[in-house]
Amino acid sequence: MQPTKQQNWVFQINGDKQPLDMINPGRCRELQNRGKLASFRRFPYVVIQQQTIENPQTKEYILKIDPGSQWTGFAIQCGNDILFRAELNHLTG
């Protein structure tokens, strides 16, 4: 199995703010240029669809948390692909 390229995918929500499947940044940029998506939040980057999809079908995502003494790691996984990674720095004295 070859390792996949590590990049953060884009969170996507419906017109009524229901979560949809994540999309890659290139597809997101293309849909934004066509006016079908708009920015909703900067970090993590979330886009909102201009129209509502009735009964959307979504994939199964797994949130993995790695607690550490100085950093906590977060990853969102879909199958074998890691779609989003983030780290949280603990404030230590």
Please determine, for residue 81, whether its predicted confidence score (pLDDT) is greater than 60: yes
Domain ranges of the chain: 11-50+59-89
Q: What pLDDT is recorded for position 43? A: 86
Instruction: Output the average pLDDT for the chain.
Output: 88
Render pLDDT for 7-41 as a digit per residue (tens, 0 to 9).
688 999 998 999 999 999 999 999 999 999 999 99
Pick from 6, 90, 8, 89: which is nearest to 44 by CA? 8
Please determine, for residue 77, whether its predicted confidence score (pLDDT) is greater than 50: yes
Task: Establish whether the linkage from the previous residue to 44 is cis, with ω within 30° of 0.
Answer: yes
The pTM (predicted TM-score) of the whole model is 0.75
Q: What's the order of all strands across the beta sheet hosting 37-41?
A: 11-13, 46-49, 37-41
- For residue 44, the 8-state DSSP code is T
Q: Rounded to whole angstroms, how far apart are CA atoms 89 and 47?
A: 26
